[in-house]
Amino acid sequence: MDGFHPVRLRTVLLAAALLLPAGTHADYAVLRNGQRLHITGHERIGDQVKLHLHGGYALIAAAELVRIEPEDFRNAPAVAPQPPVSEPFGEWIAEAARSHGLDPALVASVIAVESGFDPRAVSRRNAQGLMQLLPSTAAQLGVQDNFNPRENILAGTRYLAELLARFAGDLRLALAAYNAGPGRVVEHGGIPPIAETRSYVERVLNEYHRRAGVLPDRSGNPLSR
């Protein structure tokens, strides 16, 4: 299949939904057009992504896939959304998210877990600032001052967006790579068996759901469940 064919894919999805047994574990593929597809797995094939559906599969252009969201994120109870602009550094979070096509609530969630919104935070591994960038990573991203909140947010958000693109929109893998490094994710073919990293991924996802309240689309606008 070349590109994305909404009518054909909707037909496949309807059939898959009818076949999907209650309680079957699946994730959600979030597409650029706002659709969320219930999938049982996915794999990158060149410039396409193969989405595994119960009883079949669909091929879409990789550029059409925004991210993969875990099922437990979607099924968690809804809470009132908290606009990131009300957070400390909210305007810069919104600016960075808009520049790199991410949800501001996701960026705010990473900051909350990484540094607790402390722009002077330094980890035992010398990760620095709001988004806890290592000096080497910050230098690669063109950061002049890792403790400058705006610079750190813009660079950290860019890095997160690059990781999402590298791992075909899989949010869990991108977060694991942000914490442990992309090399370890590639080496293990998934989230590495590191307790800190596994805990980090779940903490960010939980924080993301708490802040978003409802699932956001690519621009950060909430979608009804």
C-alpha to C-alpha distance for 16 and 42, rounded to whole angstroms? 15
C-alpha to C-alpha distance for 189 and 183, rounded to whole angstroms? 10
Between the alpha carbon of residue 151 and those of residues 63, 112, 127, 146, 156, the distances in Å are 27, 17, 15, 7, 8
C-alpha to C-alpha distance for 102 and 217, rounded to whole angstroms? 9
- Closest CA relative to residue 215, chosen from 75, 10, 15: 75
Q: Which helix (H) or strand (E) holds 49?
A: strand 48-53
Active site residue 87: no
Residues with Cβ < 8 Å from 147, sequence gap 6 or more? 119, 120, 128, 129
Structure tokens at 128: 């620095």
Phi, psi of 192, deg, nearest 5 = -65, 150
Catalytic residue of the set 114, 162, 187, 207: 114
Q: What is the DSSP letter of 162?
A: H
Residues with Cβ < 8 Å from 216, sequence gap 6 or more? 103, 105, 106, 222, 223
Q: Do 70 and 201 contact (CB within 8 A), yes or no?
A: no
Catalytically active residues, by annotation: 114
